[in-house]
Amino acid sequence: MRLIIASNNSHKVREIKQILGQYFSEMSTLREAGIDIDVVEDGTTFQENALKKAEEVLAAADGFDAALADDSGLMVDALGGAPGIFSARYAGEGHKDQENNVKLLKDMESVPDEKRTCRFASSIALVRRGKEPIVVIGYAEGVLLREKHGENGFGYDPLFYYPPLQKTFAELSADEKNAVSHRSRSLALLKEALEREQL
């Protein structure tokens, strides 16, 4: 079964290939498949966005049997779950990680330390021709810091403190992060669902 991964992020793709490689004879990124598609993520949840992306990519991918897409972001309890599905554009369209982080810190300025709980969420959708889609979501629980720590990762990683390892996601090595991240948890759930199908 040939799978197209709706991403060109090399770190994300490597993690997906490591965890799901046994289920597909071939796995390609959008770039490798020569597909240039920009899916409008207008869903109200991570799950809706991931499913829409996977469905549209598979529709555009002749010769592929399945498509996998993810949508992820940060949910801050004191902000009612924001930035949520707007994580990548929290400071506005076209803004980068730095502006998003600055806005988030400003919005959280007056929130006391004990109320700065948050979580990263990652929803993954697998769409296959002739089969029901599988959509899962995984979480990593943390605390939002008041200043950035660490140079690794991207997005909100420098502000996301992960208590079990007593580090921010930006202070973890790639292997450490892959072992505990929201994406690794959603991929594990997807793998469990695929294993149940084979029983």
Write out pLDDT tens, residues 64-78: 999 999 999 999 999
- pLDDT at 38 (0 to 100): 87
What average pLDDT is seen over the chain?
93
Q: Give catalytic status of residue 71 as yes or no.
A: yes
Degrees (nearest 5) of the Cα angle 162, 165, 168?
40
Q: Whole-angstrom Cα distance, residue 59 to residue 46?
A: 20
pLDDT digits (tens, 9 = 90+) for 184-196: 999 999 999 999 9
Mean pLDDT over residues 79-96, rounded? 91
Give the Cα separation of 91 and 87 in Å (integer): 9
What range defines the domain where residue 155 resides?
Answer: 2-197
Number of folded domains that form the chain: 1
More confident residue, 68 or 152: 68
Where residue 24 sits, what CATH number does that domain have?
3.90.950.10
Average pLDDT of the segment spanning 66-92: 95
- What mean pLDDT comes out for the span 147-160? 93
pLDDT (tens digit, 9 = 90+) per residue, 15-61? 888 889 889 999 999 999 999 998 888 999 999 999 999 999 999 99
Contact between 60 and 6 (Cβ < 8 Å) = no
Which residue among 65, 71, 97, 157 is the active-site one?
A: 71
